[in-house]
Structure 1
Amino acid sequence: MNKPALWTKDFIGISFTNFLLFMTFYFLLVTLPVYVLNELNGTETEAGLATTVFLISAILIRFISGQWVEHFGKKNVLIASLVLFLAALIIYPFVSGLNALLILRFFHGIGFGMATTAAGAIVADIIPNSRRGEGMGYYVMSMNVAMAIGPFAGLFIMNKWGIGMGFTVCMTVAFISLLISFSLKKDEAASEKPAGKFKLDLSPGNLIEKSALPIALTGTFFAIVYSAILSFVSVYAQELHIGEAAGFFFVVYAVVIVLSRPFTGRWFDLYGANAIVYPSIVLFAAGMLLLSQAGGTGLFLIAAGVIGLGWGTLFPGFQTIAISKARPEKKALATATFLSLFDLGIGFGSFVVGIVAAGLGFKMLYAACAVYVLAGLIVYYFVQKNKTEPKHSPQ
C-alpha cells in the first residue's frame, strides 16, 4: 500500500516559512549583542537584555496564542503574526537608543511567538498520521539548518557590510515568508467555526501541561547555559581575535546535530532515555570546558562540534520525554509547555550570563558553565528517578 504524501505544497511551504522565520531569529540573536556593544555603547548586561525581552514576550504570547489559533484559524493567525514580525524589522534601522530597541524587541517577540505557535499547529494538521515522526523530523530539521545559516550569514554580512545591510536582509527574508504564508491552504476548521466573540480562557489547564513540567524545568536549567552560547559566542570570538570563525561555530554545531540525529534517535529507542541523556550531559559539559580553553580557531570549532553532539542530543530527548508523559489530547500543550519554559531559560540566561560575563570574563564564564552543566546530572537524576523511561525517537 502506498504511503500518504508528505512532501505536499503546503508541507514544503510551512517548513520553508519556519526556516526563514528561525533564520531571521538566529541572524539577529548573534548580531544584536555586537550591535548593542559597538553601535549603542551598551554593556554586556544590556546586550543580553535585548534577547531576554524578545523571548519573554514570545513566551507570554505563546501561552494564549493557541486559543487565537483555534478561534481565528491557523492561517489567519500566521499571516497576522508575520505582518507584525516584518513591521518590527522595518523599524530596526530607525532605532538609535537602547530603550527604544528594547521596546521594539518586545513587540518583535510577540510576532515571533504567535508565528511559531501557528506554524506548529499548521504542520501538525498537514502531516499524515502514519508519517507523523518522519514529517516532524523534517520540520524540526528546518530549524537546525536555520541555526547554521542564520548566525553564519548574520556575522558575515555584519562584518562585511555592516548592521544596516543585515537589517535589510532580514526584512527581505521576512517578506518572503509572508508571501509564502498566503499560498497555504486555509484550514477548514476555521471556516466552519461559527462566528462569535472571542473569549480568552486563562485557566491553568489551558495554559500549562502538568505532566511535562518536571522535564521542561530540567530543560530550562540547561537552556541557561545554551543562552551563553547563542548570545555571546560571537563576542567571545572577537575577544579571541577570530571574529570571522564565529559564524563557522554554528555551522559545525548544526552539521554535527544533523549527522548524529539518526544514530542518537535509534539508540534512544533501543536503550531508553537515560542511556542517552547522561552521556550527552557529560559531552555538553566537556564542550563548554573546551570552549573556555580556546585560544584559536581549531579548539573553538572542536568545542562547537562537541557541544552540538551533547546539547543537540539533549534537547530533542527532553522534548520527547515531555510529550510521551502527556495524554494524547494534551501532547500539543505539552510541547508548548516545554518550548515556552525552554525559551524562558534562554531569555533569563541571556540576562544572567551577561552579568556574569561582565564580572568574570568569557573564559571564566564558559568554564563555570561546564561545572553548572555537570550539576545537571543530579537534577536529571531526581527528575527521572523511579519513572518509566519513554522509548520514542527524539526526532
Structure 2
Amino acid sequence: MNPPVALRPERLVTPQFARLLIATFGSGLSMYLLTSVVPLYLAANGAGGIGAGLSTGTMMFAAVAVELVVPAMLRRFGYRATLALGLVLLGAPSIALVFSASMPLVLAVCVVRGAGLAIMVVGAVALVAEITPAARRGEALGVYGVVVGLPAALGLPLGVYLTGVVGFGTLFVLAAVCSLAGLAALSTMPGRPAVADEEHHVQVLGGLRGSGLVMPSLVFAAVTVAAGISVTFLPLASGNHALVAVALLIQSVTAPAARWVAGRLGDRVGPAKLLPPALVLAAIGAASLVFVGTPAAVLAGAVCFGIGFGAAQNLTLAIMYDRSPRSRYGQVSALWNLAYDAGWGAGAILFGFVVAGVGYPTAFGLTAAVLALAIVPAATQSLRSRTQRTA
C-alpha cells in the first residue's frame, strides 16, 4: 500500500498578490513620510500642539467617513478603479502643501488624503482575503502586514530626519510620487468582489449584533489611540529629533515583524489566545512615554509597543475574518479600518487638548490606562474560546 501523498499548500504570493503589495507599499510610504512631518510643519508655522493634533485627527476622521462607503464602491466600480482613485487622492494633494502652511489648506489636504487612505486600506485588505488561500489567510495577512509596515519603518523616521536635510517641500513632492507610482501595479487586479447577490446591500455597520465583530473592533481601536498619539506627539514631546527618529524606526520595524509572526502562530493556536499578551506589551510600551525625557525608556517602549501593536493588528483582523462569511469580507475590512482610523484620529485630537492642561507625562499615562482597559474584554473572550474548544 502506497503511503499517502502530502498535498502541497496553495501558493501564497502569486503575481497578482505581489502587484497588490507593490501598490500598497507605495501608498503606505506616501502616508508615513508625512504622518509626523505635517504636525511638525504646522508647529513650525505657529499652530502648536492643538494644530498638530487636528491635522492627524482630520485625516483619520475623513478616512472613517469614506470607509463607510468603500465596500459599495468596490461592488460598483471594482477593485482596479477604486484602488486607482485611492492612490490619486492619497498622493496628489500633498503637492499643495508646498505652497502654503495655512491651517485651512493643510486640513483640506488632510481630508482628501484621508479619503484616499480609506479607499486603499479597505480595498487592499478585502482583496488580500479574496485572492489568497483561506487556509493560509493568517499568514497572508502577516505578509501584507510586513509590506504595510515597511513604509512605516522607512517613512516615519525618514520623514522626521529629512525635514532638516531637504526641507518640507521636497518631502511633500516625494510623498505624492510614491503614491501615484503605484498606479502601474493595478492592471491585473480583479473587477468586482465575488459576493453573493443577496449580500450586496450589507452595510458596514449593519448586522453587527451577535456577529462577534464588535469586541475585536473596540479592542483594536484602543490600541490605535495610543499609536496615533505616539507618532503625532512624540516628536513634539521629546524635542530630540534624532532620538525620535530612532524610536519610530524601532517601533516601525518591530510592528510588521510581530504582525507576520502573530499571523503564523495564530493559524496554529488561534488568534484569540494571543491577543491578551499582545495588548499587555502595547500597554507597557505606551506607559513608557510617561518618562519621555529618558531616552532608554522611550526606546524600550518603542520595542514593546511595536510588538504589541503589530501583533494586535493581525490578531484582531484574523478573528474578524474567522467569524465572517466570504460575502462579508468587505464589511470586515471596512469595520477594522474604521477602528484603526477612528482610534488614531480621536487619540490625536483629544490628546492635543489634554496635554495643554496636564502636560505630556500625565497625558501619556492616561493613554496607557485606556489601552490597559482593553485587555479585560480580550482576555475574557480568549478564556471563553478555550472553554468552548474543551467543552
Same fold (TM over 0.5): yes
Aligned equivalent of 1:284, options 277, 282, 285: 282
Quote the residue 2:197 is aligned against. Answer: none
CA gap 1:121/1:103 in 2 versus in 1, 3 angstroms = same
Partner of 1:111: 116
- Residues 27 and 91 in structure 2, CA contact (< 8 A), matched pair in contact too: no
Say if 1:75 and 1:118, in contact at 8 Å, map to a contact too: no
Within 2, Cα distance between the matches of 1:109 and 1:367? 28
2:376 aligns with: 378
Structure 1 residue runs of 4 or more that deviate by more than 6 Å after TM superposition: none
Partner of 1:193: none
Matched to 2:188, the amino acid is K
1:285 Cα shift?
2.4
2:154 to 149, 168, 177: 149
Contact preservation (8 Å) 1:272, 1:389:
no
Q: 2:317 aligns with which of 307, 311, 319?
A: 319
| TM-aligned CA distance change 1:232 to 1:59, over 3 Å | same
Residue 352 of structure 1 deviates from its aligned partner by: 0.4
Residue type at the aligned position of 1:118: G
Are the equivalent residues in 1 in contact too, given 2:284–2:304 (CA < 8 A)? Answer: yes
Pairwise CA RMSD: 3.0
Higher mean C-alpha displacement, 303-312 vs 142-151: 303-312
CA distance in 2, matches of 1:342, 1:262: 18
Q: What secondary structure, in the 3-state scheme, does the structure 1 residue paired with 2:344 have?
A: helix
1:226 correspondence with 2:231:
no
Asked if 1:177 corresponds to 2:182, the answer is: yes
SS in structure 2 of the partner of residue 116 of structure 1: helix
Distance 1:248 1:118, change over 3 A: same
Q: Given that residues 203 and 331 in structure 2 are in contact (C-alpha distance below 8 angstroms), is that contact kept between their aligned partners in structure 1?
A: no
Deviation string, structure 1 residues 200-256 (Cα, Å, up to 9, x no partner): 95x646756442122212222332222211211122231xxx211212212212333
1:27 to 10, 30, 33: 33
Q: 1-side partners of 2:259 and 2:384: how far apart?
A: 25
Note the 1:1-395 alignment, pairs <5 A: 3-39=9-45, 41-129=46-134, 131-181=136-186, 184-187=187-190, 189=192, 204=203, 209-210=208-209, 211=211, 212-238=213-239, 242-261=240-259, 264-265=262-263, 268=266, 275-381=273-379, 384=381, 387-388=384-385
Residues 77 and 192 in structure 2, CA contact (< 8 A), matched pair in contact too: no
Which residue does the alignment assign to 1:195? none
Give SS of 1:73's match.
helix
Conserved 8 A contact 1:208-1:333: no
AA in 1 matched with 2:113: H
Mapped partners of 2:129, 2:261: distance in 1: 25
Of residues 276-285 and 170-179 in structure 1, the stretch that sits farther from structure 2 once superposed is 276-285
TM-score norm. by structure 2 comes to 0.85
Q: Post-superposition shift, 1:106? A: 1.0
What secondary structure does 2:36 align onto? helix
Asked whether the equivalents of residues 22 and 146 of structure 1 are also in contact (C-alpha less than 8 Å), the reply is yes
Q: SS where residue 7 of structure 1 aligns?
A: coil
| Secondary structure of 1:96 counterpart | coil
1:30–1:360 Cα change, 3 Å: same
Kept after mapping to 2: 8 A contact 1:20/1:174: yes
Decide whether the 8 Å contact of 1:252 with 1:301 is kept in 2.
yes
Which letter does structure 2 place at the counterpart of 1:187? P
- CA shift for structure 1 position 376: 2.7
Moved more, 300-309 or 256-265: 256-265
> Contact 1:224–1:349 at 8 Å: present in 2 too?
yes
The 3-state SS of whatever aligns with 2:385 is coil
TM-superposed CA distance for 1:143, in Å, is 1.0
CA distance in 1, matches of 2:142, 2:29: 18
Change (3 A) 1:118 1:373: closer
C-alpha distance 72-188 of structure 1, shift in aligned 2 (>3 A): closer
Instruction: Give the TM-score normalised by the residue count of structure 1.
Output: 0.84
| Residue correspondences, number | 376
Q: Do the aligned partners of 2:36 and 2:159 also contact (CA within 8 Å) in 1?
A: yes
* 1:89 shift after superposition: 1.8
Q: 1:37 to 1:115 in 2, by over 3 A?
A: same
Q: Distance in 1 between matches of 2:134 and 2:374?
A: 35
Give, in angstroms, the shift of residue 296 of structure 1.
4.2
Tell me, in whole angstroms, the C-alpha distance in 2 between the residues paired with 1:167 and 1:62: 24
Partners in 1 of 2:148 and 2:25 — Cα distance?
6
Distance 2:203 2:173 in 1: 41
Range 314-323 or range 25-34, more displaced = 314-323
Contact 1:74–1:121 (CA<8 Å) still a contact in 2? Answer: no
Q: Distance in 2 between matches of 1:250 and 1:162?
A: 19
1:155 Cα deviation after fit = 0.8
Contact 1:264 1:313 (C-alpha < 8 Å) held by counterparts: yes
Q: CA deviation at 1:32?
A: 0.9
Identity of aligned residues (%): 21
Name the SS for the 2:165 alignment partner.
helix
Does the 8 Å contact 1:27/1:150 carry over to 2? yes
Q: Which residue of 2 aligns with 1:194?
A: none
Gaps of 5+ in 1: 191-199
Cα offset, 1:173, TM superposition = 0.9
Aligned counterparts of 1:229 and 1:298: Cα–Cα separation in 2 = 16
Partner SS state of residue 388, structure 1: helix
